[in-house]
Chains A and B, each alone.
Chain A
């Protein structure tokens, strides 16, 4: 079985997404976890490109890598001494063992279900336009306009709320 270039790139992207996720779980240093999360987000952006969702891919890079990862690093550096960073992200064994068993069971069920289901034959892409930005904008500002406005109000609430919660308390 020979692999085309496209398939090799897909496999590399999939590995770039999943392997750092395992590092997020098992690393004991929270900075390593944060940078591994960065690579997972980057791989997810690549998967969006494979799915033909360019706008999502760019949004993923801007919001997750430019926003969430940086805010995460700020939070880490604001809350802990740098000296003891090597054991800042340890697991609680009492929760990890039953949690691990449960997660393995759930994964087995889901992967069995994914393998058994008869998926519709892919390849019929007539409904998805080649460039998705303009149709996405149409959907957001016509059919999903209400949800769009609710999300914008939510973002305003988040902006004010996070300032109120995190401000220096006045004694």
Chain B
């Protein structure tokens, strides 16, 4: 197995995905949960680019990666706006304490 092969990229993507999932599941702080989601999106983008080079041998995977990056940026803006609204309402960003849906 060569070092710069598709398996290396997939394993890196898997490590990022595992770290992101564990972060998103276990953190108390909403910003921490948001970081986990960013890691998951990042790993998906790496996998698309790797498949684009090694198995599809075309550029379409890179187009998907680009859409993922754009959507992640949009998600970041909305998530942090929501976070500020929640902080103003509760004076707290601990996910365990947010138990009502009314803003």
Contacts and interface: CB of A to CB of B under 8 A. Distances in A.
A88 B52 CA distance: 39
Contacts of B65: 53, 56
A99 B26 contact: yes
Contacts of A124: 57
B93 to A, nearest CB: 6
Chain A contact residues: helix, strand, loop or mixed: helix
Chain B contact residues: helix, strand, loop or mixed: helix
Interface string A81-105: 0000000111110011001101110
Residue from the set A30, A34, A51, A102 with the largest chain B CB neighbour count within 10 Å:
A51
Contacts, number: 229
Interface in A87-141: 88-92, 95-96, 99-100, 102-104, 106-107, 110-111, 114-115, 119-120, 122, 124-129, 132, 135-136, 139-140
Interface of B: 2-12, 14-23, 25-29, 31-32, 34-36, 38-39, 42, 45-46, 49-50, 52-60, 62-63, 65-67, 69-74, 76-78, 80-85, 87-88, 93, 96
Given A6-B4, A51-B53, A159-B77, 14 more contacts: A10-B3, A11-B3, A55-B62, A64-B42, A80-B93, A90-B29, A100-B26, A102-B25, A107-B15, A119-B6, A122-B53, A126-B57, A154-B74, A165-B78
